[in-house]
Structure 1
Amino acid sequence: MKVSIFSTCLVDLMFPNVGKAMVEVLERLGCETDFPASQVCCGQPTYNSGYLEDSKNAMKNMMLAFEHSDYVVGPSGSCVAMFHEYPAIFKGDPEWELKAIALKEKSFEFTQFIVRLLGITDVGARLDGIATYHRSCHMTRLLGEKETPFLLLENVSGLQLKPLKNLDNCCGFGGTFSVKMPEISEQMVDEKSACVIDTGADILISADMGCLMNIGGRLSREGKTIRVMHIAEVLNSVPESVKGGALV
């Protein structure tokens, strides 16, 4: 199965190890990956700030970048959910509406693709520790995916997963929200950090680096040593001898 990697801005610029982990997991599961070099931002930051027309060039670029891809997989439910908004944004456009629909139909968040498309819930990962999982807003509410991260984490050998209180509450990041309304954002991340600490976990996992960057930054400022990991890094926690071989 051929898969094009949608890296997202945060992973591409700040957390390349997450992208690397995603590629290694997918290839271990038998996928052939590529990386269309013309991809840039999905347009979400400007779109969410109300600049619809100014966002369209970035969106058109992404549709062209992945036009010939069989599947498109990204490490962020938020960014993939933005792709799923394209058909409504370009509705009635004779040149771009069909391209928008095509991109939506073949775009998946990383864990969603593994479980729903590949039909796999155990990738052979092992990570010893006590962890809790933060459910990101856009992946839950816009992409509509709540289950796949938990189905995969339940099969990570050695990992003890603790439930997170107020699981559905936002961490306060929200991209531009944290910049425009920092006082409210700070209160939200304080609440989320307290819930993480209360679990007694030594690892915080999420499927979105924006959330992890926000919560992890707050925990660090509070002097906590809780490790933050994107779920791709967790699922790539296998012996080096295994990484080179396919599981399927």
Structure 2
Amino acid sequence: MNVQLFIPCFVDQLYPGVAFNMVKVLEKAGCTVSYNTNQTCCGQPAFNAGFWGEAKDVCGKFMQDFTGTDYVVAPSASCIGFIRNYYNKLFENTAQSQQAKDLSKRAYEFSDFLVNVLGVDNVGATFNAKVTYHDSCAALRECKIKNEPRQLLSKVAGLELIELNDVETCCGFGGTFAVKFEPISIAMGDQKVNNAVATGAEYLVSTDMSCLMHIDGCSKHKQSGLKTLHLADVLASGW
């Protein structure tokens, strides 16, 4: 199966290893992976900040960069959730309306694609550690992803998955929310760290590096010892 990669801005700039590990797993699962170097942002930051006109320009370019019939796979439920749920709204009653609808059906978050499109839940990974999982708001509420990451983690040799309290509660990042409402954001992040530490897990895993970046910052500030990893990093381990 041919797959086009979409690598979000912050993954490209700050966590490129996540992208490479996703490629590693997809190729092992039998995919032929391509990457369009012209790609830029999906447009979500501008949209969420209220700049819908500017967002529409960025989203229009994004659709041109991902034309065709291939699946578009990203290591971010946040970006995919935006494409699926808001591109149709942005381009409603425009010449690009059908293009937006088409892309929204082809765009998948990494774990959703593995389990529900490829039918793969065991990639032969080994990760000897206690792990807890964080449901990102975008994965849970915008992409309806709940069991897929857990199903994948359950097949990783040596991994013990321990659920944390209030697992569906936001970590406090929320993009521009963390900037506009910093004290609230930090308090929510601290609560997430406390709940994760209480499980006895060494690592907190999620589908979204945006959440993990925020949680990792709170964890280091508290010197909790909790480490964060993207799901792709875990699935690419041990082989």
Q: Quick check: TM above 0.5?
A: yes
**Pair 1:195-2:195 in alignment:** yes
TM-score (norm 2): 0.98
Unmatched 5+ stretches in structure 1: 240-248
**Matches of 1:155 and 1:7 in 2, distance apart?**
26
Render the CA deviation track for 1:210-244: whole Å, top value 9, x for unaligned: 010000111111112222110000000122xxxxx
SS of aligned partner of 1:129 = strand
Deviation at 1:122, TM superposition (A): 1.0
Unmatched 5+ stretches in structure 2: none
2:168 is matched with: 168
2:48 is matched with: 48
**Matches of 1:67 and 1:87 in 2, distance apart?**
16
Provide the aligned C-alpha RMSD in A. 0.8
Tell me how many residue pairs correspond in the alignment: 238
**Matches of 1:170 and 1:233 in 2, distance apart?**
22
Deviation at 1:69, TM superposition (A): 4.8
**Matches of 2:217 and 2:109 in 1, distance apart?**
24
Identity of aligned residues (%): 39
Render the CA deviation track for 1:108-131: whole Å, top value 9, x for unaligned: 000000000000111111100000
1:156 is matched with: 156
Q: Which amino acid aligns with 2:8?
A: T
**Pair 1:88-2:89 in alignment:** yes
Give structure 1 regions of 4+ aligned residues with deviation exceeding 4 angstroms.
none
1:222 is matched with: 222
Q: Which amino acid aligns with 1:86?
A: Y
**Matches of 1:49 and 1:141 in 2, distance apart?**
20
1:242 is matched with: none
**Pair 1:103-2:130 in alignment:** no
Q: Which amino acid aligns with 1:211?
A: C
TM-score (norm 1): 0.94
Deviation at 1:68, TM superposition (A): 2.2
SS of aligned partner of 1:21 = helix
Render the CA deviation track for 1:64-106: whole Å, top value 9, x for unaligned: 000025110000001001111211221110x210110111111
**Matches of 1:77 and 1:172 in 2, distance apart?**
16
The answer on whether the counterparts of 1:4 and 1:69 sit within 8 Å (CA) in structure 2 is no
**Matches of 2:4 and 2:220 in 1, distance apart?**
34
**Pair 1:128-2:128 in alignment:** yes
Where does 1:139-150 land on structure 2 (aligned, <5 Å)?
A: 139-150=139-150
Q: Which amino acid aligns with 1:195?
A: N
**Matches of 1:118 and 1:9 in 2, distance apart?**
26
SS of aligned partner of 1:159 = strand
The answer on whether the counterparts of 1:126 and 1:237 sit within 8 Å (CA) in structure 2 is yes
The answer on whether the counterparts of 2:193 and 2:226 sit within 8 Å (CA) in structure 1 is no
SS of aligned partner of 2:11 = helix
**Matches of 1:157 and 1:196 in 2, distance apart?**
21
